[in-house]
Amino acid sequence: MSELLPEGWELICGLEVHVELATKTKLFSGSPNRFGDEPNTNIDPVTLGLPGALPVLNEQAVELAMRIGLALNCTIQPCTFHRKNYFYPDMPKAYQISQYDQPLNIDGHLDLPGGVRIGVERAHLEEDTGKSTHIGGATGRIHGSEFSLIDFNRAGVPLVEIVSRPDIRTSEQARQYVSELRAILLAIGASDAKMEEGSMRCDANVSVHRVGEPFGTRCEIKNVNSIRALGRAIEYEARRQYDIIESGGTIRQETRHWDDAEGRTHTLRTKEDADDYRYFLEPDLVPLVPGDEWIARVRTNLPMLPAARRSRLATATGADVQGEAVSVIVERGQDDYVLSVGEAGGDVARALVYVQQAFAEEPPTPRVPSKDIAALTVMERDSKVTSTQAKTVLAEIVTNGGGDPAAIAAAKGFEAIDTSEVEGFVDQAIAADPDAWQKFCNGEQKAMGALVGMVMKASKGKADGKVVTAILNARRG
Amino acid sequence: MANIPTTAAAIADAVRAKEMSATEVVEHHLGVIAQRDGDINAFNLVTADIARDAAKRVDAAIASGADVGVLAGVPIAIKDNMCTRGVPTTCSSNMLAGWKPPYDATVITTLNAAGAVMVGKTNLDEFAMGSSTENSAFGPTRNPLDTSRVPGGSSGGSAAAVAAGFAPVSLGSDTGGSIRQPAALCGVVGVKPTYGLVSRYGLVAFASSLDQIGPFATTVDDAALITEVIAGHDPKDSTSIPRPVPSLRAAAREGVQGMRIGRVTDLPEGAEPEVAARLDEAFAALEKAGARIVDVTLPSLSYALTAYYLIAPAEASSNLARYDGVRYGLRASAADTNAMYGATRAAGFGDEVKRRIMLGTYALSAGYYDAYYGKALKVRRLIADDFERAYAQADVVLMPTSPMVAFPFGDKVDDPMSMYLCDIYTIPTNLAGHPAMSVPFGTGAHGLPVGVQVLAPALGEVAMFRVGGALEAAGGAR
């Protein structure tokens, strides 16, 4: 951040993240909640806002929203639904049923992997709109289009809007917040949280100020469709605001649109154009009062969260808790599997690497029995196979859904070769290309590749690359 | 053709006893409609074919010995703001002219299952906004007792249909008096049940926290019968009350011995003298029947009308926003989406609907919410508190239904405030969510009927029907 804003300036950011809940049916009707179906097939009188239709709250949606609240350390409270009134063609009733002054979840927090705590102001339930596609016109927006198509399959899909406090100070923290939130949502099964499919959407409120002075006027950035875009949009916006202030201007409170291709934001609407939503209590619904017993049951059924799982895995494997291997394995849900390799007598540190490299396409509980992986880690540790050979054996085990690594190694003619034998191959290589040896001795690391290559060729790949390197370095002195 | 009974109860008994067929019954009523609805205009649509088919099904079921339900062969008229699958449901608005819902309201499903035969969809003030049925886009309904006068509203078509003998019973909806006031003006019984007793699923919303479906009938017994059938929990309506419906027909015959009847000593004034006189006579009749009259006060009642005309329009402004020309109903053509919204709504809604949308939008707007809508909600609470105190002393409260008897066309339609005053005695019940019914009790000016209103606490239908039955038995001076 130091190069983004000069010393003494600070970025202030709060995020509003919308996630579609992974329910069977919609928030207020029995139509399926399913992505990718034929347009306008998952509809009914409630979804279309037909005259006389009435909403009935989906219990599963409430339960998933409570899970989110508990995972984010929120307090669950008795709550109500309001109508947010505005006209838009893909909003069937011309109002959205949302939660206003009494949301379901309040006052939580999310700890970033680096330890920074970001407050969560609220996480409330609301319904999604339909999806408009504007045909013709240059911008793909409703203005200037020839006609518009509306798909109401998405209308009424349950959303939880998670509103952070303005505790985020860098674009990196914003990225971490969203990716940690995503990991939590996946872990608790609340949402598939795919930003590219729109089941997770993120708006950023950004302002800048001089440290010690009150917060600046904020702008809300919409249309941020990936975690990478989020970081870029925040950085662009902070710099834009700083430049305006530094050149004597003032920031106008407005909603801005992130254009990922152009790499900039531009005005969508100013505060003056903002709709007056005329919120009032939704008279078609009654207050939602989750009982203590229900809350306790949801809490009990909450799985171990990613942060706890990462720290468990890091402790067991000795890997960096903030490292890629640990976070990837936990995100895939394969940490239990890695640990089970240890329980089967294997080397968990090697298992972590194997699973990270070879199990990307595998489910959280891979088909390969953990004892097979355990056996392979032991073979590599004991130098029964080289790391290159181990990789080959591993690939075959994964393809076949299991197998005895010793038998596979034997069938492939993989066997341990003595260090003394490797020494002989090294002698031959130096003799064959003294020029390369000289260059290597002069500090040209490139030359080492040629020497190692010759040893590998002579040993038919059975020499361990690490051993060859060690011998060469030792010889050079 | 057999002599067709005038009540739903007697028709159902006769049809079930095979004394007459449902087809004979429906043909009789279709005949009366054909003869006279040209003058009355109670119906937006007479569903003769559907009625004949339904009657045939009832007859076939009876012939096969199947259970046909308590309303076997009973013709019923339905206010045209309740959704009927495949049958136009217009709310008497150009906005929905010709719109055919793809689903039935819960009350329609329930009535069908009970063997009732829908004969048509009745006229109303557009989207149920009005007290005279003059606000219909399809022309006013005339009062069968004096066709130069209004039938009341907004359920004027349903009240007139029963008064004219087009059907023994009908359904209306009551948001601020829209069942009880036309019942009083047409000389029939009208019931607004407790909010949540009857499902609103499929009732086109006017003001969701106030709307309630209820029956019109010529007798208190028939009104009790229909209420019993349509009441009950509906999982499709979150505000529906999950509890069993008590026997209301029995209550209507029980008498009022020992009951405490509340007389409101600070009732807002404005009732015609004859209306006030009939109310006094009603108290006397109940006292004679063994009830005790107790004085109660309802000091917040004078604010009810004002609160109602903020709350109901506020909800209406939101409920009616969906008529935007995008998905169904009228669509005016215009250059862009916003212009299309404006043109559609300008063309589709009548003046009263527009007036209330404007009023409600304003009341909910930022900067005005607290002064208008917020304050109205507080008044609503005060009124409920007033009733709670009153019902600690009295089992029911008696009031006029309407301050006046049926008035001539044009009398009030150009003066919204005087029209709004028609509902001064009916509105408080809706704000409190309580039940109330209007029972004909003698006549007033010009020999036109007067209704006495029986108000009861939430789920106090049994007490209400006991008093309603006693008033009917006592009869009013004519």
Q: Is the pLDDT of residue A239 over 80?
A: yes
Q: Which residues contact B232 (CB under 8 A, 6 or more apart)?
A: B110, B197, B198, B199, B244, B245
Q: Is B79 a catalytic residue?
A: yes
Q: What percent of chain A has pLDDT over 70?
A: 99
CA separation for the pair B22, B478 (Å, rounded):
35
> In terms of Cα–Cα distance, which of A158, A49, A272 is closest to B321?
A49
Coil vs helix vs strand at B35: helix
CA separation for the pair B470, B252 (Å, rounded):
7
Strand order in the sheet with A280-281: A95-98, A82-85, A280-281
Per annotation, catalytic residue among B79, B121, B192, B412: B79
Coil vs helix vs strand at A9: strand
User: In which band, very low, low, confident or very high, does the pLDDT at A416 lie, cut at 50, 70 and 90?
Assistant: low
Cβ–Cβ below 8 Å for A94 and B327? no
CA separation for the pair A372, A346 (Å, rounded):
9
CA A102 vs CA A74, A85, A401, B37: distances in Å? 14, 17, 51, 52
User: In which band, very low, low, confident or very high, does the pLDDT at A79 lie, cut at 50, 70 and 90?
Assistant: very high
The neighbouring-strand residues paired with A302 are none
Our CA angle for B445, B448, B451, nearest 5°, is 100
Cβ–Cβ below 8 Å for A51 and B324? no
Cβ–Cβ below 8 Å for A94 and B82? no
* Token couple for A92: 């069937």
Q: Backbone dihedral region of B92: left (phi > 0), alpha (psi from -120 to 50 degrees) or beta? A: left
> In terms of Cα–Cα distance, which of A298, A309, A397, A399 is closest to A346?
A397
CA separation for the pair A304, A318 (Å, rounded):
20
Nearest chain B alpha carbon to A87: B321
Q: Which residues contact B458 (CB under 8 A, 6 or more apart)?
A: B194, B195, B432, B433, B434, B435
Contact list, A53 vs chain B (CB under 8 Å): 103, 201-202
The phi and psi torsions of A381 (rounded to 5 degrees) equal -60, -40
Per annotation, catalytic residue among B131, B178, B300, B438: B178
* Residue B154 preceded by cis peptide, ω within 30: yes
CA B24 vs CA B2, B16, B20: distances in Å? 8, 13, 7
DSSP single-letter state for residue A37 = P
Q: Is the pLDDT of residue A273 over 80?
A: no
Coil vs helix vs strand at A391: helix
The rounded Cα B245 to chain-centroid distance in angstroms is: 19
CATH code of domain B8-249:
3.90.1300.10
- Within B41-120, where are the H helices? 48-63, 106-113
Q: Which residues contact A467 (CB under 8 A, 6 or more apart)?
A: A386, A419, A422
CA B464 vs CA A184, A381, B96, B137: distances in Å? 56, 88, 36, 35
The string of pLDDT tens digits covering residues A327-383 is 899 988 999 999 999 999 999 999 999 999 999 999 999 999 999 999 999 999 988
Nearest chain A alpha carbon to B373: A280
DSSP states along B400-447: ES-SSS--BTTSSTT-HHHHHGGGTTTHHHHHHT--EEEEEEEE-GGG
DSSP states along B331-359: ----SSHHHHHHHHHHHHS-HHHHHHHHH
Contact list, A87 vs chain B (CB under 8 Å): 321, 324, 338, 341
Contact list, B200 vs chain A (CB under 8 Å): 52, 54
Q: Tell me how close the Cα of A24 comes to any Cα of chain B, in angstroms.
A: 18
* Token couple for A175: 């990225």
pLDDT of residue B2: 57
Does A136 contact chain B (CB < 8 Å)?
Answer: no
Best probe of the A interface among B211, B333, B337, by most A CBs < 10 A, is B337
CA separation for the pair A468, A433 (Å, rounded):
16
Cβ–Cβ below 8 Å for A50 and B103? yes
- CB atoms under 10 Å from CB of B139, counted, come to 12
Q: Is the pLDDT of residue A389 over 90?
A: no
Q: Tell me how close the Cα of B237 comes to any Cα of chain A, in angstroms.
A: 6
Per annotation, catalytic residue among B131, B132, B154, B317: B154
Contact criterion met (CB below 8 Å) for A316 and A109: no
Does A147 contact chain B (CB < 8 Å)?
Answer: no
Amino acid code (one letter) for A373? I
Cβ–Cβ below 8 Å for A56 and B238? yes
Cβ–Cβ below 8 Å for A51 and B96? yes
Q: Which residues contact A470 (CB under 8 A, 6 or more apart)?
A: none
Nearest chain A alpha carbon to B339: A87
* Token couple for A418: 């003595």
Contact list, A278 vs chain B (CB under 8 Å): 317-318, 361, 364-366, 369
Mean pLDDT over each residue of chain A, to the nearest integer: 93
Cβ–Cβ below 8 Å for A51 and B373? no
Cβ–Cβ below 8 Å for B238 and A276? no
Q: Choose among A51, A276, A284: nearest Cβ to B83.
A: A51
Residue B189: enclosing H or E segment and its boundaries?
A: strand B189-192
Best probe of the B interface among A25, A81, A284, by most B CBs < 10 A, is A284
Q: Is the pLDDT of residue A418 over 90?
A: no
The neighbouring-strand residues paired with A162 are A17, A123
Contact list, B314 vs chain A (CB under 8 Å): 280
Contact list, A48 vs chain B (CB under 8 Å): 327
The C-alpha torsion from B357 through B363 and B367 to B369, rounded to 10°, is -130
Tell me the helices (H) and strands (E) count for chain B, helix number first.
16, 11
What residue ranges of chain A are covered by domains with CATH 1.10.10.410? 419-476
Q: Tell me how close the Cα of A29 comes to any Cα of chain B, in angstroms.
A: 9
pLDDT (tens place) for every residue of chain B, 478 residues total: 558 999 999 999 999 999 999 999 999 999 999 999 999 999 999 999 999 999 999 999 999 999 899 999 999 999 999 999 999 999 999 999 989 999 999 999 999 999 999 999 999 999 999 999 999 999 999 999 999 999 999 999 999 999 999 999 999 999 999 999 999 999 999 999 999 999 999 999 999 999 999 999 999 999 999 999 999 999 999 999 998 999 999 999 999 999 999 999 999 989 999 999 999 999 999 999 999 999 999 999 999 999 999 999 999 999 999 999 999 999 999 988 899 999 999 999 999 999 999 999 999 999 999 999 999 999 999 999 999 999 999 999 999 999 999 999 999 988 988 899 999 999 999 999 999 999 999 999 999 999 999 999 999 999 999 999 999 999 865 4
DSSP states along A157-215: -EEEEEEE-S-B-SHHHHHHHHHHHHHHHHHTTS----TTTTSEEEEEEEEEEETTSPP
Contact criterion met (CB below 8 Å) for B41 and B140: yes
Does A276 contact chain B (CB < 8 Å)?
Answer: yes
Q: Backbone dihedral region of B296: left (phi > 0), alpha (psi from -120 to 50 degrees) or beta? A: beta
Determine the angle formed by the axes of helices A335-343 and A306-317, rounding to 10 degrees: 30
- The CATH label, of 3.30.750.24, 1.10.10.410, 1.10.10.10, 3.20.20.70, for the domain at A419-476 is 1.10.10.410
Residue B262: enclosing H or E segment and its boundaries?
A: strand B260-264
Average pLDDT over every residue of A9-28: 98
Q: Is the pLDDT of residue A111 over 70?
A: yes
> In terms of Cα–Cα distance, which of A304, A330, A290, A288 is closest to A71?
A304
Determine the angle formed by the axes of helices B273-288 and B461-474, rounding to 10 degrees: 100
Q: Is B199 a catalytic residue?
A: no
pLDDT of residue A266: 92
Contact list, B83 vs chain A (CB under 8 Å): 50-52
DSSP single-letter state for residue B323 = -
- Could you report how far apart the first and last alpha carbons of chain B are, in Å? 33
User: In which band, very low, low, confident or very high, does the pLDDT at A415 lie, cut at 50, 70 and 90?
Assistant: confident
Q: Is the pLDDT of residue A2 over 50?
A: no
The neighbouring-strand residues paired with B214 are B172
DSSP states along A346-381: --HHHHHHHHHHH-TTS-SS-SS-HHHHHHHHHHHH
CA B441 vs CA B36, B172, B189, B472, B476: distances in Å? 26, 21, 10, 7, 4
Q: Tell me how close the Cα of A116 comes to any Cα of chain B, in angstroms.
A: 37
Nearest chain B alpha carbon to A279: B364
Q: Is the pLDDT of residue A274 over 90?
A: no
pLDDT of residue B478: 46
CA separation for the pair B72, A82 (Å, rounded):
42
Q: Is B154 a catalytic residue?
A: yes
The rounded Cα A174 to chain-centroid distance in angstroms is: 12
> In terms of Cα–Cα distance, which of A167, A73, A69, A179 is closest to A124?
A69
Cβ–Cβ below 8 Å for B201 and A52? yes
